[in-house]
């Protein structure tokens, strides 16, 4: 470690993390005032033209309205066919490469020596000085040590311990739903269930579970990173509140353990009992970053798979009938939901050296974006890729969880939650009808549904 880094670390460990975030906020506010860019919007909504009307060289997959206006499939398809490794020299996020074919994405994701996840896995750059660090944006060996410290929380044994609890929470939520009248599925089911799950994972006070969702939503809404709408002041205030809340929770858990409370299966217990992470609280930005990663990791993704599954079965009613006739298809269907929805559209890498990918010369330092949502619709791998087919034979080749050293740590947990949801839904309801068009999240990163009205028909 360099002397300057060691000094920064010492200084950081001495200042409470919420005050550091407050400092970053003040700095950022002054900078925005001086440069007078406050309130500037990176993207303004305009109708997205048909892809044939756009020059190949100008295609910009980072435009969040491509997703909101539902034009993304044709844009991805054109790049897959005509320029699978495509360079955009100028965008709101600077120049970047788009990788759109399944095979090329896997090649990049597997090669962490040439394609580094540091310092960030989104296209843009967050406000300066808010350098929260998380292991999803670290390379081995630092990544491996930190991942190993928390991996146990989703080990098969722990998941078996959790299954009963997850099921009872799903049952509570479903038994409370209105029938034969419209309601928003996203609020009542997808968000509520993921909030309950997150509170369980972190052993966070149950009555404050919606806070976890709120913080996670704020963290992923940054315009600088994903093109979504955001209010930086609100984000800083939220991050500060989160840092304070998580620190208090950490100290509270430590005090309870010291007082003789039985250790649980939750993440905080795991971090506090691992040699690499028991002092995580004294590395504040890493502390906040890694907890945030686990909250964000399990929030939008699972939530949008819960909404995406209902939407997919409405778009493909023959598949709903197939499922009702054969509930044994639920496990395969949950993978198909995760492929079809692809809750995270991409991950970004930086080339660590000059390299060649599928015939294109990529320079050291270039940004490389792996568009998972495109790889999952690649007809070189999946037949009729835009269709939702619950008994698709090769569905487990989907890349929604990524590949290589960063492959999603929570994949089994996510599948478990979705499987239980559908196991509990099918015996209760004859139909889950989506009413009207859902509303989509404005983001190039989270492929999300913000509102979806449904009507439930109970089993007679
Ligand atoms: C990493 C997707 C659920 C925790 C990732 C990555 C993706 C992803 C794309 C990056 C992979 C790469 O770079 O190669 C998803 C999807 C989910 C889901 C689609 C649900 C359908 C969860 C849940 C958790 C979680 C429930 C909570 C435990 C993580 C963590 C990482 C990660 C900690 C970082 C892994 C690393 O860097 O080693 N996820 N995720 N995810 N996910 Fe998930």
Give the pLDDT confidence of 287-302 residue by residue, as tens digits.
888 888 888 888 889 9
Interatomic CA distance for residues 316 and 247, integer angstroms: 46
pTM of the predicted model, to two decimals?
Answer: 0.90
**Number of Cβ atoms within 10 Å of the Cβ of 386:** 11
ipTM above 0.95?
yes
Pocket of ligand 1 (CB under 6 A): 109, 135-136, 147, 154, 293-294, 297-298, 301-302, 305, 338, 343-344, 347, 400-404, 406-410, 413-414
Rounded to the nearest 10 degrees, what angle do helices 17-35 and 284-297 cross at?
A: 90
Peptide bond into 304 cis (omega under 30): no
Question: Relative to the CA of 109, which ligand 1 atom is closest?
Answer: 14
333 contacts 312 by C-beta, under 8 angstroms: no
Q: What value does the mean pLDDT of the chain take?
A: 88
Name the residue of 104, 270, 408, 419 whose CB sits within 8 Å of the most ligand 1 atoms, as the mutation to test its pocket: 408
Please state, for a pLDDT cut of 70, what percent of the chain lies above it: 87
Q: How many residues does the chain have?
A: 460
Q: What is the DSSP string of 23-49?
A: HHHHHHHHHHHHHT-TT--S----PPP
Predicted confidence (pLDDT) per residue in 152-190, tens digit = 888 898 888 889 989 999 999 999 999 999 999 999 999
Predicted confidence (pLDDT) per residue in 6-37, tens digit = 555 555 566 666 666 666 656 555 555 444 44
The residue among 412, 436, 445 whose CA lies nearest residue 158 is: 412
Predicted confidence (pLDDT) per residue in 237-275, tens digit = 878 888 888 899 999 999 999 999 988 778 888 888 888
The residue among 33, 224, 212, 24 whose CA lies nearest residue 120 is: 224
Provide the terminal-to-terminal Cα distance of the chain, rounded to the nearest Å.
67
The residue among 231, 221, 234, 194 whose CA lies nearest residue 210 is: 194
Q: Which residues does residue 88 pair with via DSSP β-bridges, in sequence order?
A: 96
Burial of 105 (0-12, 13-18, 19+ CB in 10 A): buried
The residue among 335, 345, 295 whose CA lies nearest residue 312 is: 335
- CB-based contacts of 303, cutoff 8 Å, min separation 6: 186, 190, 191, 193, 194, 448
Phi, psi at residue 440, to the nearest 5°?
-105, 150
pLDDT at 317 over 50: yes
């Amino acid at each position: 470690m360099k002397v300057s880094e060691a000094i920064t670390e010492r200084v950081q460990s001495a200042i409470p993390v919420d005050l550091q975030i407050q400092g970053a906020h003040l700095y950022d506010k002054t900078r925005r005032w001086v440069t007078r860019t406050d309130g500037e919007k990176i993207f303004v909504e305009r109708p997205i033209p048909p892809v044939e009307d756009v020059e190949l060289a100008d295609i910009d997959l980072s435009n969040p309205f491509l997703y909101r206006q539902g034009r993304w499939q044709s844009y991805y398809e054109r790049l897959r066919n005509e320029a699978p490794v495509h360079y955009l020299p100028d965008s709101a996020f600077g120049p970047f490469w788009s990788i759109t074919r399944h095979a090329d994405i896997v090649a990049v994701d597997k090669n962490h020596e040439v394609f580094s996840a540091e310092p960030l896995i989104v296209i843009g750059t967050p406000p300066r000085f808010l350098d929260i660090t998380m292991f999803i944006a670290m390379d081995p060996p630092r990544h491996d040590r930190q991942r190993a410290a928390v991996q146990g929380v989703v080990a098969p044994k722990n998941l078996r311990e959790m299954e009963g609890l997850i099921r009872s929470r799903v049952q509570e939520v479903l038994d409370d739903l209105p029938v034969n009248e419209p309601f928003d599925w996203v609020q009542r089911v997808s968000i509520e269930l993921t909030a309950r799950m997150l509170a369980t994972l972190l052993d966070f006070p149950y009555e404050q579970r919606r806070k976890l969702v709120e913080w996670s939503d704020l963290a992923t809404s940054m315009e600088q990173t994903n093109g979504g709408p955001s209010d930086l002041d609100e984000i800083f205030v939220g991050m500060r509140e989160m840092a304070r809340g998580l620190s208090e929770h950490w100290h509270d858990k430590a005090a309870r353990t010291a007082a003789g409370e039985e250790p649980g299966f939750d993440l905080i217990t795991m971090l506090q009992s691992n040699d690499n992470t028991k002092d995580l609280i004294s590395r504040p930005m890493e502390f906040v970053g890694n907890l945030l990663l686990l909250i964000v990791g399990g929030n939008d993704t699972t939530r949008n798979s819960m909404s995406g599954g209902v939407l997919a079965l409405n778009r493909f009613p023959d598949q709903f009938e197939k499922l009702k006739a054969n509930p044994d298809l639920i496990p395969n269907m949950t993978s198909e939901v995760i492929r079809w929805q692809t809750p995270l559209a991409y991950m970004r890498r930086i080339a660590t050296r000059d390299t060649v990918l599928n015939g294109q010369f990529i320079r050291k330092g270039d940004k490389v974006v792996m568009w998972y949502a495109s790889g999952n619709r690649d007809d070189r791998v999946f037949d009729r890729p835009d269709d939702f087919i619950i008994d698709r034979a090769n569905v487990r080749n989907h890349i929604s969880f990524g590949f290589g050293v960063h492959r999603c740590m929570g994949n089994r947990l996510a599948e478990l939650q979705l499987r239980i949801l559908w196991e509990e839904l099918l015996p209760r309801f004859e139909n889950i009808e989506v009413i009207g068009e859902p509303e989509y999240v404005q983001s190039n990163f989270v492929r999300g549904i913000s509102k979806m009205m449904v009507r439930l028909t109970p089993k007679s």
